Structure 1
Amino acid sequence: MTDASVATRAAVPARGSLVRGLLRRRGAVLSLGWLLLLTLATVAAPLVTAHGPLDQDLNSVLTGPTGAHLLGTDTLGRDLLSRLLFGGRSTLLAVAEAVVVFLAIGVTAGLASGYLGGRLDWLITRTADLVFALPGIVIILVVLAVFPGNLHAAMVTFGVIGSPGLIRILRAQTLRVREELYVAAARVAGLTRPQILRRHILPRLTSTVIVQAALFAAIVVTIQAGLGFLGLGAPAPAPSWGGLVADASQVIDRDPWMLLPAGLPLVVTVVALGVLGDAVRDAAVEAWAPPVPAPARRPRRPMPTAAGVTTREPDPQALLSVIGLTVEIGGTPVVQDVSFDIRLGETLGVVGESGCGKSVTSLGILGLVPGRGRISAGHVLFQGSDLTASPTTLARVRGSGIAYVSQEPMVALDPTFTVGRQLAEAVARHSGCGRKAARVRAVDLLARVNLPDPAAVAARHPHQLSGGMAQRAAIALALAGEPRLLIADEPTTALDVTVQAEILGLLRSLQTETGMAVLLITHDWGVVADLCDRAVVMYAGQVVEQADVAALFSRPLHPYTAGLLAANPHAAVPGEPLPTIPGTVPPPGAWPDGCRFAARCALATDACAAPVPLTEPEPDRTTRCVHVDRLVQEGTSR
C-alpha cells in the first residue's frame, strides 16, 4: 500500500477539534447561548426596555409581571427588567476587567516561568507564592476603602490577586509541553523563543486557559454581586445585580417574586460559566493526548575532568568537532568523553545498542538534552564556534547550520498546524521572506523530498500522513534553513523495509545535491554500509572505536565492534543460529571503573580493570581496548 493511500484513509482525524467537541455537548451549547444572549441584551438594553433604570412609577410599586413591566417593579416603582439589564453592564464590565488582568499576568508569567526557567522561574514562582498567600477579600476591601465605590480598581486588584493560580497551572503545563519532540524540532529549526511560545506552546494550553478564565469569571460575578449586596459596589441609585438582591431581601415578606428576577440571572450566569469550563476541559481531553511530564532542566555548571578523559586538537578541516563531550541527566553521566569530527559532505554513522548514548550525544550537540540533562564537560565546535559556550550562537546555528530529524516524525510535527504552515514558518524564520513566498517555498520543499501532490500534503495535519510521508515532511522541515549538517536519529526505525529504502535513497540524493554533512544515528549495519564514510561505535556512554567504514567492516579493533558485526542479521548464515553478545549494556550509574565491556568480553583479563583510554593504533583510527595489539595482529593474519 502506498503512502498516499494510507494518508487518504487517515484523512479523518481520530479526535475532533475543540470547537466541535464543545458543540456536541448540550450543556456547553446552552451555557454559550445564555452568555451570548445576556451580553447582547445588556449591550442593547435601551432597545430592549421601554423604561430607564432610574424611572419611577409610584403608582406601580412592588407589582408582579405586567404588560408595562415584564418582570415587575421594585419599592420605588422602577422597572426590574431595565435595572437588571443595565446592572448587567457593570457586572460584565467588572468580569471583563478582572479576567483581562488575570489572563495578561497569568499567561505571560506562567509561560515565561515554565519555558525559560532559571532565575526568572524562581522569581516568578516566589512572587506568585507571596501573592497567593494574601487574603484576597481583605485586600479588595482595603482598595474600596481607599477608592470608595470604584469597582474598576477593585476588579483590577482581584485580577492581580487571582493570577498566581493560573501562573502555577500554566507553568506546570509548559514544563510538560516544552519537552515534546515537536517543540524540540521547532528549536532545532531555529525558531525564536517568542515564536515557539506563541505558535507551538500556547495553542496546546488554550483549553487550559479557557477553563481557568471561565471559572475565574464565575468567581468574579459572585464577588461583584457580593460587594453590591453589601453596598460596596455601584453607589445608589445606580443599578447592580448585588443591589437588586439586597433590595429583594428587604421586601421578601411582602413581595417574594422580586427575588426571582433579582437572583435567578446571577445564579444562571455563575452555573453557565462553570458548565462551560467543564465542557472545555472534557473537549480538550478528546482533542489532545495527555503529555508526559518531564522535570525542569538544570543550569549548566563546570565540572572537573574525570580520570582517563582524553584531550585532542580539533580537525581544522572539520565542519563539526565534538571534543570530550560529557552529558549528565539527574546528576548521573550518561555520555562521557565523546569526541569525533565531521567534514563537509561526509556521512558519519554512530552505532551501538540501545542505551549506549547515541541519541543523547546528538541532542547534546544541539543543546537539547532531555529532562534534567546538561553538558557538564567538553566542547562542540561548529565552523570554529563553541556551541556550548554561547547560547546565542547555538540558537543562530539551529536550523540554518545544523538541522535535526528525529526517529518519531509523527510527534516531531506540531499537531495544531498543517504541515505547510509549519514549513512556511521555518522558511520565513531563516530567509526573512514574506508569507506568500514562504508558502511557495514550503510546497517546493515537500516536492524536493519526493512527496506526491505536495500542495495537498501541505494542507494536511500531521495525523493525516502515513509514517513515511511524515518522515519526508520532517526532512523537508529540516531543510527549510538550508543546513550544512543534518543529524538524523534513526530516521528509518519505525518504517517498513520499502519505505526505509526510499528514505535512505532520499538522504543520499539530498546530500549529493546540497553537499551537506550527515550525522546518522543507527543500530543497522546495513545503513552504515550503505550511506556512511566513517563510523563511531559507542558502548555505555563512551566511544570504543572509530574508523573508516571499510576498515571497520574488514578488521574491527574492538571486541564490541566485532560482536556487533557478527550479530548483524544481514550477515546471518542460513540454518545456523545468529551469534549474540551475552549480557546487557550496564546502565548509567553502574559503569565499572575499567573497561565497560569487560563483563561481556571473551578477551577480558585483569588488565581491563583499570580505566582504558582511546589509542590510535593506525592513522585516522582509534580504539579503547588494552588488547589492541592482539586484535591488530589477528586482523593482519586474516
Structure 2
Amino acid sequence: MTTMPTTSARGRGGDSAGVWRAVIRRPLGALSLAYLAVVATAAIAAPWLAPYDPTATDLSHVLSMPSADHWLGTDRLGRDILSRLMYGGQVTLLGVLQAVATVLVLGVAMGLASGFLGGRVDRALNWLIDVVLAIPVIITLLVVLAVFGTNETAAMVTLGVLGAPGLARVVRGVTLAVRQEPYIAAARVAGLPSSYIVLRHVLPRCYGPIIVQASLFAGVSLLTETGLGYLGLGVQPPTPTWGGMVADASQVIDQQPWMLVPAGAVIGLGILAFGLLGDVVRDATGQRGKRAASTRAARRGTLRAEPAAHPASAEPAALLSVRGLSVALPTAQGTTTVVEDVDLDINPGQTVGIVGESGCGKSITGRAILGLLPAGGTIASGSIRLGGDELTTMTKAELARLRGRKIALISQEPLAGLDPVFTVGQQIDELVRRHDRLPRRHVRARTLELLTAVRLPDPEGVAARYPYQLSGGMAQRVVIALALAGRPELLIADEPTTALDVTVQAEILDLLRQLQGETGMAILLITHDWGVVADLCDRAYVMYAGHMVESAPTEEMFDVPLHPYTAGLLRSSPRLAEPGLPLPAIEGTVPEPRDWPAGCHFAPRCPLATAICREGAIAVAKPEENRRTKCIRFDEVRRGEGHDGAGTLARR
C-alpha cells in the first residue's frame, strides 16, 4: 500500500471540519472563535446570566463607575451596563445573523449555479450580479428603512441581498475549477444527478472561501447594524442595542467617558475577531491547498508506469452502434473537428478495443459516447445508439439517468476519479443508494459485496479507507466496483492499466475478464497497448488522426493487417521486436486536427501513399467479411509491402 501524509479532511462534511481544525490550531484563530463564542453565549443566556433587568433604573447610581453591584457601571438612567450589553447582543447578533444567512443562501446558490451550469445561466447570473453590485448600499438601506420604518430585519436582509454578489463571484470561481476535476466527471458517469454532485462533491470544496467571505461580511454587518442603532434607525429604546448604547454614551461623554468603553470595546473586538477569523481561514485553506497539490503531484509521479463510407443502419444485434460520428472542439483558431465519420459496433457481452497513438481521438470518442465532451465540444454529426436509444438527441437529464445503469466508465487515473474527502465505502454507498434504492441498512452490505467482487482483501477495511490510503491497483479495483454499482450493460475502460505495473496490469485484465463472464456486460477498451488488446479483445478498431482506419477480429488483425498504419503499429510493438535489432518505428508524428491533410490522414507518413491518397477522402473498403479498412492499397499491405516485413512481424 502506498503511504503518504493525509491532506484530506475526514468523514462526512470533512472539508469544513478540516478547515476548523486548522483554524483552532492557530492562536489568533482560537482566540477569535473563543471571543465570539463567549459573546454569543452571553447574549443567548442573558435571561439567566444578566444580574439586572436591562430596562430597570436606579437613580441613586447614575453614571457610576464599575463596582461590586454594577460590574461595568451604569448609564445616565442608572441602568446596569453589563445587563444591557448582554441583552443588546441578542438584537445586534440577530441582525448580523440575518444578514449573513441571507448572503450565504443567495451567494452560494448563485455561485454554484453559475459555475456548475455555465452557458446561459452563467451569463444571466453574471449580468444580475453586475447590476446588484452597482447599487449603493447605504442609500438603499435608508430607502428600505424609510419604507418599513424601524424594521431592522428588513434592513439586515437587504444588506445580505446586496452583499450576496460578492460571495457569488468567489463561489463561482471555485466551482469552475472544481467542475473540471476528474472525480466530478466520474460522478456524472456513475449516474449521480447534478444536484447531488453539487451538494455532495462541489459545495464541500467551497467551504474555505465561503467561511472567509462570511466572516468578513459578518464584521461589515456588525458595523452596519451598530451604525443604524447609533443613528436611531434600528430598534428603538428602551430595548437595548449596542449601537444605541454608543449613542447614549456619546451624549454624556463629557460627564462619564467610561460609559463608551464597554459597548465600544465589545463592538470593536467583535469586528476584529471576524476579520482575524477570515484571515486565519484564508491562510489555513491556502496551506492545505498547497499540500494537497504537492501530494497529488507526488501521487501521479508514483503511479505512472514507464510506459468511412459507413453502413446506412446499425447492426441489428449491436448493443452500441456508432455511425458517422464527428466531434468538434473549440480552439484558439475556432471550432475544429477532432473525430470524423467514425463507425463502431459492440455486441452484448463483447470486448472491443480502440488502438492508436496519443492524439488520435480515442478518448474523445469514448467521451462523446458518454455525453461528457469538454466544455464547448459538440457532436457535429452522426448517430450513437445504445440498446435502441439514440444518445445524441437525449437531454442532459436523460443522459444522466442512463449513466451508471446502462453505461459506465473506468479511467486511467483511478485516484483522480475518487473524491479525496470521503471514504471508499461512503462513495460506493451513494451509488448503491442511487441505483438500487435499498434501505439504508442494506446499502453497506451491497457495497461490501461489490468490493468482494473486485477481489479486494478485507472489504470492510478498504471501505473505511480514504483514497490516499490506496495503492494504484487497489484504487483501480475500487473504481471498477463503483462502475459496477449500477449493473451497466456497457463498460468503457479508458487506458485502465496505463498507470499500473505489469503484475497489477495482468490482475486487472483478469478481473475484467472474470466480471464480464459473470455479468455479461460489454466492454469498450481504449488503449495503446497491443498486448492488452490481444489478451482481452474480441475485435479491434485502429484509430488515426480522428479516423477509424481499420477494424477486424483481433486475431485476424494480428495475423494480417490491412492498413499501413496498423502494420506499422504492430511492427513497432516491443512485444514483437527482434532481439538485438533496433525497434522499428513509424516516421513522423500524428498531425494536429487543424493540420489534417485533405486526403488520407496517414498519407504523409505512409511509404505506400500515392497522389490519389493525397487528393481526396478515402472510402472504407470491405476486403473480407467482417473486416474494414480505410486504404486503397490494402492488398499490398496484406503482402507486407512497403513496411520492411511488417506483415511477417505482425503475424509473429
Name the TM tier (shorter chain).
over 0.9
Match of 2:89 in 1: 88
- The farther-off stretch of 53-62 and 512-521 is 53-62
- The DSSP-based 3-state class of the residue aligned with 1:481 is coil
**Matches of 1:266 and 1:34 in 2, distance apart?**
12
Contact 2:560/2:647, CA 8 A, preserved across alignment: no
Structure-2 change in CA distance of 1:526 and 1:245 (3 Å): same
How far the C-alpha of 1:93 sits from its partner, in A, is 0.5
| Equivalent residues in 2 for 1:343-492, closer than 5 Å | 343-391=347-395, 392-492=397-497
Match of 2:197 in 1: 196
How far the C-alpha of 1:369 sits from its partner, in A, is 1.1
**Matches of 1:157 and 1:309 in 2, distance apart?**
64
Structure-2 change in CA distance of 1:365 and 1:177 (3 Å): same
- The farther-off stretch of 514-523 and 122-131 is 122-131
How far the C-alpha of 1:637 sits from its partner, in A, is 10
**Matches of 1:77 and 1:173 in 2, distance apart?**
53
**Matches of 1:338 and 1:65 in 2, distance apart?**
86
- The farther-off stretch of 549-558 and 104-113 is 104-113
Contact 1:353/1:523, CA 8 A, preserved across alignment: yes
Match of 1:296 in 2: none
Match of 2:628 in 1: 622
Contact 1:228/1:241, CA 8 A, preserved across alignment: yes
Match of 2:313 in 1: 313
Identity of aligned residues (%): 54
Contact 1:535/1:549, CA 8 A, preserved across alignment: yes
Contact 1:324/1:379, CA 8 A, preserved across alignment: yes
**Matches of 1:170 and 1:550 in 2, distance apart?**
53
How far the C-alpha of 1:288 sits from its partner, in A, is 4.0
- TM-score norm. by structure 1 comes to 0.93
Structure-2 change in CA distance of 1:554 and 1:637 (3 Å): closer
Contact 1:176/1:291, CA 8 A, preserved across alignment: no
Cα shift readout 1:591-621 (whole Å, capped 9, x = no counterpart): 1212211221111222122222322222221
- The farther-off stretch of 446-455 and 245-254 is 245-254
Contact 1:15/1:286, CA 8 A, preserved across alignment: no
Letter in structure 2 aligned against 1:133: A
Contact 2:621/2:632, CA 8 A, preserved across alignment: no
Cα shift readout 1:613-635 (whole Å, capped 9, x = no counterpart): 32222222111123224324558
**Matches of 2:257 and 2:566 in 1, distance apart?**
90
Match of 1:590 in 2: 595
Structure-2 change in CA distance of 1:75 and 1:309 (3 Å): farther
| Equivalent residues in 2 for 1:243-258, closer than 5 Å | 243-258=244-259
- The farther-off stretch of 272-281 and 142-151 is 272-281
**Matches of 1:171 and 1:291 in 2, distance apart?**
20
Contact 1:348/1:519, CA 8 A, preserved across alignment: yes
**Matches of 1:464 and 1:372 in 2, distance apart?**
36
Match of 1:298 in 2: none
Tell whether 2:512 aligns with 1:507. yes
Unmatched 5+ residue regions in structure 2? 10-17, 295-307
Tell whether 2:337 aligns with 1:333. yes
Match of 1:578 in 2: 583
Match of 2:300 in 1: none
| Equivalent residues in 2 for 1:255-294, closer than 5 Å | 255-288=256-289
* Residue correspondences, number: 616
Contact 1:322/1:381, CA 8 A, preserved across alignment: yes
Structure-2 change in CA distance of 1:375 and 1:124 (3 Å): same
Which of the numbers 569, 573, 586 marks the counterpart of 1:568?
A: 573
- The farther-off stretch of 582-591 and 282-291 is 282-291
Letter in structure 2 aligned against 1:422: Q
**Matches of 1:291 and 1:606 in 2, distance apart?**
51
| Equivalent residues in 2 for 1:598-637, closer than 5 Å | 598-609=603-614, 610-632=616-638, 634=640
**Matches of 2:197 and 2:167 in 1, distance apart?**
20
Cα shift readout 1:13-44 (whole Å, capped 9, x = no counterpart): 14563232122111111111111111110111
Letter in structure 2 aligned against 1:628: F
Letter in structure 2 aligned against 1:500: Q
Letter in structure 1 aligned against 2:46: A
Match of 1:304 in 2: none
- The farther-off stretch of 446-455 and 375-384 is 375-384
How far the C-alpha of 1:139 sits from its partner, in A, is 1.0
Cα shift readout 1:312-361 (whole Å, capped 9, x = no counterpart): 31111000011122222212222221110000111000111111111111
- The DSSP-based 3-state class of the residue aligned with 2:379 is strand
Tell whether 2:132 aligns with 1:119. no
**Matches of 2:527 and 2:618 in 1, distance apart?**
25
Letter in structure 2 aligned against 1:373: G
How far the C-alpha of 1:435 sits from its partner, in A, is 1.6
Contact 1:177/1:291, CA 8 A, preserved across alignment: no
**Matches of 2:311 and 2:32 in 1, distance apart?**
67
How far the C-alpha of 1:309 sits from its partner, in A, is 6.9
Unmatched 5+ residue regions in structure 1? 1-5, 293-307
How far the C-alpha of 1:577 sits from its partner, in A, is 0.7
Runs of 4+ with deviation above 6 angstroms: 635-638
**Matches of 1:396 and 1:15 in 2, distance apart?**
30
